[in-house]
Structure 1
C-alpha cells in the first residue's frame, strides 16, 4: 500500500484510540488491586487523603500506594488535590468502586478479562479447531466474576421491576408456585426471588457442579436452604413439572440447544405458567449493536458464550447479541408463541413468554 492512500488523520486517531484501550486494560488491573486491598473502601467518605495516610489506614506499603493513586488519578477514577498532595474518592465514584451493595459496583467485572487472558491458549485452540470450551474449563475467576457482577444488577431490578412487569407473576408468586431457575450459577437470582416470595418453592439448575456447590452454600448462609433446592442438571432434562415460572437469566444464549431448552420449558410449565427470559441487550442486526455495550458483549460472547454453546454440541449458537427476533423464533419452534418485551435496561432485555 502506498503512503498516498493512507489518511494520516484517521491513522493517528485510531492509533490514539488503541493506546486508550491499552490504558483501560492497565486501569482494570489497578481496579482489581484497589478492590482486593481495600483501598477504595478506605478512601470512601474519608475526604482528601495523602498516600501516607491511605497506606497507614489500609496496611499497605506507601510507595506502592502512591504510584497506584497516581495511576487512578490519571485515569480519572480518583481526584487529585495538588495543593495538599492529597487524593479523594468522590461519592459518585465510591458507588462504582467501593460500595459492594451498589448496583453500579464494577470491580468484579474485571475478573472476566483476567480469566480471558488466562484462557488464551484454550481460545487459540478453539479458533483453530472449532472445538468448544465449556463453562467449567475456564479460569475460576470467570464463574466467580460473572456471579458477583450480575448479583447486584439482579438485586436492583429483578424483584422491584422485572417480576412485576410479567402478567400476574407477582400474584402467583405470593400465592405460592414452583419456580425453576435454569443456569442458576451461584444462585443469586434464585435466592433473591425466594427471599421476596416465601410462599413459593424455588429450584435452581446448572451443569457446573462448582457453581451448584456455591449456590447451596449461599442458600445456607441466607437461611433459605429449606425452601430453595439446587441441583446439577442440564437445561433440557431438569426434573419436575407444573412450574408456574421458569427463568433463564443470561443463560439461553450460552446453550448448545436453545430450542431443546425452550421445548423442555414448555413441557415443564403449568398451564397458566410463564417463562421469564433475561438476555443481554441487543438489536436484531449487527449494525444495531456496534456500541460500547455491544463491544463488551461481543467480546464476552467470543470467549465464553459461543465457546460454551459449541462445547454442548452447538446445534444453534446464538451468541450474546442474538436480538429479540431470533430469541422469539427459538420459543416459537417450541410451541410458545406469546412473546413480548416486558422490560429492559441498558444491559438487559426482559422477555415474557407464554402459551
Structure 2
C-alpha cells in the first residue's frame, strides 16, 4: 500500500468534510440574515450584529469567529470587530448578483435533510419526487438558477437559436415546461413584450408561486402558469417550447419530447438546456462542475425520475448524445448542440 497516497486521500476527505461544515455555517448566516445585516455596513462587533439581527450574542460571536477563520469575513483585531467585504457580499448576501451562491447553500442543506429518505430509496429502488423533499429545496433551486438565467438566458441561450430572437420580438407563443417558480418564463416575458408565455409544472405549489411572481413583475396579462405533467397534451401550436434543466429529471423524457413535437408549430423550435456534461464519464473526472452536478443528481434528479413511470433515470450528467437520442426517438428530425458553456449544454431541435 502506498502510504503517501493514503495520506493524500485522507487530506482530501478531510477537506471535503471541512467544506460540509462551513456550508452549514454559511446556511445559518443566510437563514438568519447575518450576511445581509453585514452587507455594506463596515465593521461590526458581535454585540452590534446581534442587536441588528435580534439574535443571541454568544451564538453570533462564535459564528463570526468561524466565518473569520475561514476567510469569509474580515476581522479587525484592534477593535474586535468584523466586516463582510463587498466582494463577498455579492456571493453571500445578494440573490440578484450573478455571483450569488446562497441558493446553492440552501439546496445542499435540503439535500442533507433528505439523506435518510434517499438511503431508503437505494435499498428499495423506488424514487423520491421533488415534492417529497424539504420545502427549502424548491426555494433553493430557484435562488440557485435565477442568477444563471439572468446572466445567460437572454444574452447567450436564445441568441444561439436560429431566428428565435427575431420571432420573439415580433410576437411568439412560448411554452416553458417544468417552469418551477417561473423565473425563466418571466425573464423572457419581460424581454419580449410582444410575445405570450405559458409555464407548466407538475407541482401545484410552485405554480401558485409562479403566478404570484408574474403579478409582481407586471406581466400577468401575457404570462400564465398551470399545473400539468410533461407527458400531457401540450395543446399549441407553440413557436418555442423550452425545457430548462428539466428534461433529464422526467420519468418519461421521450413521451415529454414527443408531446412537445406534436404541440410545436410547423416551423417551431424546441430549446433544451441541460447541465454541462460529457458523453463519457472519464472525460469529466476531476471536473468541479461535474462533481457538484453528479452529487445533486444522485440525491435529486435520478430519484425524481425513478418516482415517475417508466423511470428512465437519465440523471443530470446524461450528456448530449443521450439527450439527442431521446429527442430523435421522440421524432425530431434535426437536433443540434448550438452552445456549450462551463455550466450548460444548449440544444436546438426541430421537426
Fold shared by both chains (TM-score > 0.5): yes
SS in 2 for 1:246: strand
1:206 aligns with 2:201: yes
Deviations 1:148-178 (A, max 9, x none): 2111211121122211221111111111111
State whether residues 205 and 238 of structure 1, in contact with CA within 8 Å, keep that contact through their aligned partners in structure 2: no
1:34 aligns with 2:29: yes
1:253 corresponds to which of 248, 256, 272:
248
Partner of 2:169: 174
Partner of 2:274: 279
Paired with 2:169 and 2:124, the residues of 1 have a C-alpha distance of 50
Deviations 1:251-299 (A, max 9, x none): 0000111111111111111111111111111111111222211111111
Paired with 1:80 and 1:172, the residues of 2 have a C-alpha distance of 53
SS in 1 for 2:96: coil
Paired with 2:71 and 2:163, the residues of 1 have a C-alpha distance of 45
1:304 aligns with 2:300: yes
How many angstroms does 1:346 deviate by? 2.1
1:346 corresponds to which of 333, 339, 342:
342
How many angstroms does 1:315 deviate by? 4.7
Partner of 1:316: 312
1:295 aligns with 2:291: yes
1:141 aligns with 2:97: no
Partner of 1:69: 64
How many angstroms does 1:27 deviate by? 1.2
1:80 aligns with 2:75: yes
SS in 1 for 2:269: strand
Partner of 2:106: 111
1:184 aligns with 2:179: yes
Runs of 5+ in structure 1 lacking a partner? none
Q: CA RMSD in A?
A: 1.6
Partner of 1:335: 331
How many angstroms does 1:202 deviate by? 0.6
Moved more, 288-297 or 189-198: 288-297
Q: Report the TM-score, using the length of structure 1 for normalisation.
A: 0.94
How many angstroms does 1:45 deviate by? 2.5
State whether residues 278 and 317 of structure 2, in contact with CA within 8 Å, keep that contact through their aligned partners in structure 1: yes
Paired with 1:10 and 1:208, the residues of 2 have a C-alpha distance of 47
SS in 2 for 1:231: strand
How many angstroms does 1:120 deviate by? 2.4
Count of residues in Structure 1 that have an aligned counterpart in Structure 2: 350
Partner of 1:193: 188
Paired with 1:10 and 1:32, the residues of 2 have a C-alpha distance of 33
